[in-house]
Amino acid sequence: MSLQRSSRILVIDDENRLRQVCRRVLEPEGLELVEAADGISGLEAIEEKRPDLVLVDLMMPRMDGMEVLAKAREKHPDLAFVVITGFATLEKAVQAMKQGADDFLAKPFKPQELRMVVQRVLRRVRTLQDMSFEKSRSRLLISSMSNGVLVADMDGTVALMNPALRELLGDKDMDHRGKPLEQAMPCPKVVEVLTRILAEGPQGEKGSVTCQIALDGPGQPQYLQVTCLPFLGGMDKMVGAMAIFENVTAWRRLDDLKNEYVSTVAHDIASPLGSVISQLDTLERGLAGELNEKQAHLIRRAKLRVQGIVDLSRDLLDLAKMDNSAAEKPEPLALGTVLAEAVEVQTPAAQAKGQALSLELPDGLPKVKAAPLALGQVFGNLISNAVRYTPEGGEIKVRAGGGADGLWVEVADNGLGIDPEEFERIFERFYRVKNADTRTIVGTGLGLPIVKKVVESLGGRIEIESAPGQGSTFTVRLPAA
């Protein structure tokens, strides 16, 4: 920051000659000089003229320099002082420095010495002024931010809570500084994450953790996206933890609207096309008259195409359902039942391709906490993929196991296999592996993204083992309920 005006120096000395010396030396430096002939008028000049630096003689009648320094500092703790002293009072100068003077000059001094001391102290003053300006600017910035900000000290007490956060929490006028986090913050999830970051300390992960929370208020619930991260001070030393709260309620509502729209459109497409398929089916089976080879081929192709659109609608519906997380509540589920149902649904497709589809379940599997439809989709998609990407006569094995520390479900086939280079991409929405083998297989590229999203939302993960021509094994790992 540059000062708006040239720095103002107040010289307090009962000797007119010394005041004139100061004026002669400092004015050519572009500094503004103000004079006072004794301590009392010096204190008045401080109030009136607001100098940046005071040069004060220690030995003066009525009020000496030390007293001026002490009195002025009571009101202006940051005001810069240089004491001027004779040889005999060097000891006093040391004492004045101990009391907080910024520097001293011993009489008689050379013009160059005066210039040097004044410039040195002014440089320090400017740095201090810059810092306090910076501090007040940051404070203003944080207070006027529309996002909520919470800073906690290393001991887990609140150091800062900006007005936006207080407003979000509905207690605008409360000052929570100094209170323990769990008292000041009504969101246990945020308290838990911040406490963990603080407990991990400087050795912990430096990255941020983002979570979504819902705040119940008098009206509609508010959805907040909260980013928690370590708060780093100078030299990147951790001095606390902070959380930034963004109100995403409007986005959530838009998202819900989008999901509703997608669901409606997908549903409106799937229903009439379902009846188109059954009519094509009637034609294909010759129930509306014998078909020649070419006609039967065309009808089969049309049916496949229409089935592709029906599948896409079904997957879009599934995605919309999942995005609308409030739609289904998780509950403790018996994995065996979910798997048996998924296998049963896919059995006709496997039989149509002459494949052996088997389920192997140990007794006493612990329950898993999930929404039934979502978990059904996970295994339904994996088994349907295994059936579709395994040639006729192939084998598909579904197995499960695990204990109280977690469960695993394996869907293994001896089909086409996947190149490891594709492992990441097949979990992207709409991505499909394109090669001569998969060209004729109808799909949407939405199955695996759905699987991944559901599994991760349950705190689990999915692993693949596969190679082209070697079959594939997808393993889902889930925490027990």
- Given candidates 68, 416, 462, 476, which one binds ligand ADP under the rule CB under 6 A? 416
The nearer residue to ligand ADP, 247 or 472, going by C-beta atoms, is 472
Q: How many CB atoms lie within 10 A of CB 333?
A: 17
Q: How far is the CB of 296 from ligand ADP (least distance, A)?
A: 26
Count, residues near ligand ADP per rule CB under 6 A: 21
Chain-centroid distance of CA 210 in Å reads 4
Q: How far is the CB of 349 from ligand ADP (least distance, A)?
A: 13
Q: How far apart are the first and last CA of the chain?
A: 59
Distances (CA, A) of 67 to 61, 63, 71, 203: 11, 6, 6, 50
Q: Is residue 385 near ligand ADP by the rule CB under 6 A? A: yes
The nearer residue to ligand ADP, 246 or 422, going by C-beta atoms, is 422
Q: How far is the CB of 272 from ligand ADP (least distance, A)?
A: 22
Q: How far is the CB of 345 from ligand ADP (least distance, A)?
A: 16
Q: Is residue 389 near ligand ADP by the rule CB under 6 A? A: yes
The answer to whether 404 touches 330, Cβ cutoff 8 Å, is no
CA proximity to 327, closest of 287, 374, 282: 374
- CA 335, CA 367: separation in Å to the nearest integer? 6
**Greatest CA separation found in the chain?**
128
Binding mask 452-481 for ligand ADP (x = CB under 6 A): --------------------x---------
The nearer residue to ligand ADP, 339 or 448, going by C-beta atoms, is 448
Judged by CB under 6 A, the stretch of 42-50, 142-150, 352-360, 385-393 that binds ligand ADP is 385-393
3-state secondary structure (DSSP) of residue 361: coil
Q: What is the helix, strand, coil percentage profile of the chain, to 5?
A: 50, 20, 30
What residues are paired with 11 via a beta bridge?
Answer: 35, 55
Helix axes 65-75, 90-98, angle to 10 degrees: 10
The nearer residue to ligand ADP, 7 or 384, going by C-beta atoms, is 384
- Given candidates 444, 453, 454, 458, which one binds ligand ADP under the rule CB under 6 A? 444
Q: How far is the CB of 306 from ligand ADP (least distance, A)?
A: 16
Q: How far is the CB of 368 from ligand ADP (least distance, A)?
A: 22
Q: Is residue 346 near ligand ADP by the rule CB under 6 A? A: no
The footprint of ligand ADP on residues 424-443 (CB under 6 A) is 426, 432-433, 438, 443
The answer to whether 417 touches 394, Cβ cutoff 8 Å, is no
- Given candidates 191, 415, 453, 476, which one binds ligand ADP under the rule CB under 6 A? 415
3-state secondary structure (DSSP) of residue 404: coil
Q: How far is the CB of 312 from ligand ADP (least distance, A)?
A: 9
β-pairing, 8-12 vs 53-57, is: parallel
The nearer residue to ligand ADP, 84 or 451, going by C-beta atoms, is 451
Specify burial of residue 435 (Cβ count, 10 A radius: 0-12, 13-18, 19+): exposed
The answer to whether 57 touches 14, Cβ cutoff 8 Å, is yes
What residues are paired with 50 via a beta bridge?
Answer: none
Q: How far is the CB of 143 from ligand ADP (least distance, A)?
A: 48
The nearer residue to ligand ADP, 109 or 431, going by C-beta atoms, is 431
- CA 437, CA 379: separation in Å to the nearest integer? 23
Q: How far is the CB of 466 from ligand ADP (least distance, A)?
A: 7
The footprint of ligand ADP on residues 354-383 (CB under 6 A) is 381
Rule CB under 6 A: which residues touch ligand ADP? Answer: 381, 385-386, 389, 413, 415-418, 426, 432-433, 438, 443-449, 472
